[in-house]
Amino acid sequence: MPSAERPGVRPGRSGRRLTVLSGPSGVGKSTVVAELRRAHPEVWLSVSVTTRKPRPGETHGVEYFFADDPGFDRLIAEGELLEWAEFAGNRYGTPRGPVLEHLEAGVPTLLEIDLQGARQVRETMPEALLVFLAPPSWQELESRLRGRGTEPEDVIARRLDAGRVELAAEKEFDLALVNTSVQDVCHRLIALLSA
C-alpha cells in the first residue's frame, strides 16, 4: 500500500535545503531514517546531543553525542544548538555547525527531531522543509509504542499524551506523509532531499 501524502499549510518545495522529519513517538521515524540511510548513504543525518545516559550498544558520536547538564547548558549559552527540547527529564539538541557545513557543501541534509525542535527550526531557518510523518491511525500508533517493550507504562502514557498534541500540529508542516510503507516514505523523502 503506498504512503499517503497530505498537503500542509505550505506547498511542497524543492531545492537544496535542510529537510526536517518529525512526528509522534512510535510513528516509525527511526525506521524510516535507517532505511533511507541504508539505501542512500549520501544523505547526511545530523547526530543529536543528549543528556540521556547511553543505552547498551550506543556509541558516543554515532547514535548521539552524550553530554552532562553543564555541557548542554554551555552549548545553549554559546548558540551552538540549532534547536533543543526536553523530554522525560532529558534534553536533546541539534549541533548547528555540522548542519550548516553540510548544507553549504550541497549535501542532502536531514534532521529527525520532535515537534518542539521542528518549531524552533522553522523560526531560525524558515527555508527548511518540514515533513510530518503521520501514523495510519491512532490505534496503530498506540500499538507500535506498546509493542516496543522498552519503556515503562508511565513513559508510554507520556508519549501517547505528547502524540495527541503532535498529531494536532500536522498542519504546521509543509508536507505530511502517512507511514503505511517504510519504502514508499523513503522514496518520497529521497525525492525531496535530492530535488
Q: Which residues contact residue 77 at a Cβ distance below 8 angstroms, ignoring those fewer than 6 apart? A: none
pLDDT tens figures, 69-106: 999 999 999 999 999 998 778 999 999 999 999 999 99
Contact predicate 115/22, CB 8 Å? yes
Say if residue 139's pLDDT is above 90. no
13 three-class SS: coil
Q: pLDDT class for 6, splitting at 50, 70, 90?
A: very low
CATH number for position 145: 3.40.50.300
Predicted pLDDT at 76: 97
Q: Is 126 exposed, middle or buried (0-12, 13-18, 19+ CB in 10 A)?
A: exposed
Mean pLDDT of the region 8-22: 60
> Is the pLDDT higher at 10 or at 195?
195
Considering the chain, what is the average pLDDT of its residues?
87
The pTM (predicted TM-score) of the whole model is 0.82
Query: Which domain, by its residues, includes 20?
Result: 4-194
Mean pLDDT of the region 50-73: 94
Say if residue 45's pLDDT is above 80. yes
The DSSP symbol for 87 reads: E
pLDDT tens figures, 155-195: 888 888 888 888 999 999 999 999 999 999 999 999 988 77
Predicted pLDDT at 15: 37
**How many domains are contained in the chain?**
1
